[in-house]
Structure 1
Amino acid sequence: MKPRQVLEIFTAAQRRTEPKSLVILRAFIAVLFFTILICYIFIQIEDVRLDTPIFSVVQSHDEESIIPIPNVYFEYDHPFTIACQINGRLTKTLPEDCLTHLQQPELSLTDKGVYKGAFKANGLKFIRSDIEKIDFTFTVNNLTEILSDDIGIEIRIFDSEAQDPLDIKNFKETNVHVIDNFLSLIDLNMYHIFSQQHHTVELSRIKRKIAKEFWWNILGIPPIFVDETHINSHLEVHPLLNAPTNSYSKLTFVMRTWRVPLEKEQKAKTLFDTVGQIAGVAGTLSLLYAFLFGAGPSAIQSWGIVQKMKCFGIKKGVRKHINRRYPRLPFIHTSEDGKDNENIKENNLNDYDEVIERLDAVERFLKEYVVDADFLAQLEKLDNENKNRF
C-alpha cells in the first residue's frame, strides 16, 4: 500500500469522481493495509532490537604458556579454615607463601551465620612447563556434629585478570549490556564441595570481545568491543584418602587445556536485513490493492475487481456515476440496424458541438481514470511563463 494511493482516495472523494460507497470502501481497505504495514514494521524493529547477541569463535585456538591462577571465593555455614599449596615440577611453593594470598573465613556482617573467605591470586600463574595445579585443604572443628545437616562449602571461581562480577560497584565499564554479561558469570563456575571427598576442578580460559550495545548498532553500524576473559571449568569427585584428623575435604585446581579460544559477540539481525522483508510486504499489499481497485490513474487498467462486483451496489453505482458524468460515453454507439449506425455517424460528424462534447468527455475520463496529466499541466504552465518573459 503506497502513500500516494492513499492520497488518491481522498482526492477522488473531493472531486466526486467515484461513488460514495466506493470511496468509503477504498478508504477502509487503504487504512487496513496501511495499519498492517505499520504493525509489521514495528514487529521487525522490535525483533531486531530484542535479538540476543551470540558468541562465536572468530579465529583458531592459540596455545598459551602462562595462564593466571583464578580467584576463589568460599562460603560455609560453620567455622572452617583453609590451607593451600602450589605444586610444580620444578618449583614448589611453601605453604607459608601460599597463605599470603588467602583470606581466612570470617563471619559475614551482611549474611548472618555465614562464614566467607577468599583466595586472591594477585599475579600467581599456571606455567605450562612447571606449575600446573594448586591444592586447598579445608579443616572443620567438631566435624561429626555438623554432618547431619551439612550442605557443603560453596565455591565460586573467577578469572583473576578480569573484572570481578561480585564487585559490581567498582566496575570499569558503565555499559548496561557489558555489566549484564559480567553478572551472568557469577554462577558459571559455582560448586559445592562435601565432606570426605577430594574435588578436582579442571580449568580452561576463554577470551571474549563483548559488544557495547547502542541504538545505532541495530542499523548495522559495527559496535565498540570490550576485551575480557573468563574461566570455564569441570568438576570431578574422588574419595578423600589419608586425610588428617578434622580434615573436611580437599580441592585441587588443574589446567585442562592450554588452548585459549577467542569469541566475538555479534547480533544475527540488523534493520538493513529486514528492509527486503518490509519491501516485500509493502509490494504484496500494493498488488492486492491494485487487484481490488485497479492500478490507479497512471496506468492503463484503472479498475479492479471491486468495481465489477454486484454486491453492495458498487457496480450499479459506478455505472450510474459514469453515465451521469460522461453522457457521451461509451465511445461507439451500436444498434441492430446497420443503416441507423450510418445515420448516427453522419449526424455526429455534422454536429460539431456534439463532437466537441464527446471529446471533452473522453479527455476528462482519461485524466481522471487512466492518465496522470499533472506533469503535462506543469509543462504547459512553464511554457506559458517562458512565452510571457519574451
Structure 2
Amino acid sequence: LPSLSLKQVAAATPLSWDVTLADEVHDSIPFDEKFTLVGITAMTHQSVRAYQIADEFRSRGVPVVLGGIHPTVLPEEAGKHADAVVIGEAEPVWEMLLDDLLAGRLQPLYRAPIPTGNRLAVPWMRREIFNGRRYLTTQTLQASRGCPYSCPFCIVTNYFGSAFRYRDTDDVLAELATFDRKLTVFLDDNLLGDPLRAKPILAGMKGMGLKWGGQANLRFAEDPEMVRLVAESGCIGIFVGIESVTGVHANHPKTGSRYSPEELIRRIRDAGIVVEASIIFGFDDHDEGIFEATARFLERCAPSLTTYHLLTPYPGTALFNRFDKEGRLLHKDWSRYNHAEVVYRPRLMSPERLYRGWAKARREAYTWPAIFTRVAKNPHGIITNLAYNILRRGSNTSP
C-alpha cells in the first residue's frame, strides 16, 4: 500500500507547489533533480535509510524536512540529518513551514498541537501522486485517528492522541464517492472503535459497491448490529489484534470481553468477512510454552489468516522506556526494530529461542495441512479464503 503520510503531506501542500513523489519500494531516489525542499517520512525501522537520503540531499544544498513517528519521538537524533523536523501530525504546521522556507526563516522544529477533542478535519488525500506504481490499491483513507487504550508496546496514543477523533460522516462518504475502483483500504488504527461515529459511516457506504478492508478491535463483534453494518458496507477483511493468548494482554480492555475470542471471530466469519489475527510473541510472561498455547488457541478460533510478530520496543513507547531502564535492549540499530528480529533480552527464554519459536510458528501456520484445515472451518467464501492463504504462504514459509 502507498505511504499514508506522503499522501497527507501532499494534500496539505498548496497547489502552487509542484509535488514529486519518490517511493523507494518502486522508485530510485532522484538525487540529481533540482528541488526547493525534500520531505522524508520515516518509521523506526526506516530511519537509518531516511537519514542516509537526507544527508545526501543536504550535501547537494537541498533543504530537508524529516517527519513521521520516529523523528517525532527522537527529534534531536533526526535533527542531525535535517534542516527542520516536524513533531506530530504534519497538517497543522506544514503550510507555515513552507512559508518560512520561502521567507528564509526555516525553523529547526515545528511542533504540531497535541490532538484534543473528538473531531478530525483533514484534506482529502492526493491519490494521483501514486499513479503508475504497482500498489494493491491507491484507494486508501482515514476516517479516524487516535486510540484510548495506551498499550505499552504501541506508539499510536502518543502520536495521534488518547481519544478517537473522527471526520464528519458526510466528508468521509464524499471522499469515498470519488473512488473509481472497488478495492478500498481504511488506514485507521481502530476504525470501529467508537460505534456512535463509525455506524453512520458504515450505513452510508451501503450500496456504494466498495470492497474494503481495515483494522479494528475484535470487540466490535460484541454488537450484532455493528457486524451487520460492517458486512453490508462491503467489508471483505478485518485485521484484529489478538496480541497474546495469556496473561494481562488477554484481559486488557482492548481485548477482554464477556465473549470468547472464538465466539467473536465466529460472528465475523459467519458474516462472510475474512479475519486476520495478529499475534505477538515475547511478552514478559511468555515462556517456551507460548508457541504451543498459541497454536492450540488459533486452532479453536480458526481465523482465516494469522500474522506473527516479535515484540518490538519502539522508541517513544512505555515498553522501550522500561526495557532501556532495565538494561534489556540488545542494541539501538533502528533498522532491526522491524517485528522480525529480537532486539531485547526476553525474561523467560533466550533471544535465540524466542526467534526460533516465532519462525517455526510462521512456517507451520502456512503448511498445506494447516491451510486446508483453516479453510474448511471458514465455509463462507472458501475460494477467497484459499486464495488469501496461498498468497500468504509464499511470504511466511521462511523468516
TM-based fold match above 0.5: no
* More strand, by proportion: 1
- With CA pairs under 8 Å and 6+ residues apart, which has the higher RCO, 1 or 2? 1
Question: What TM-score results when the alignment is normalised by the length of structure 1?
Answer: 0.17
Question: What TM-score results when the alignment is normalised by the length of structure 2?
Answer: 0.16
Higher Cα radius of gyration: 1
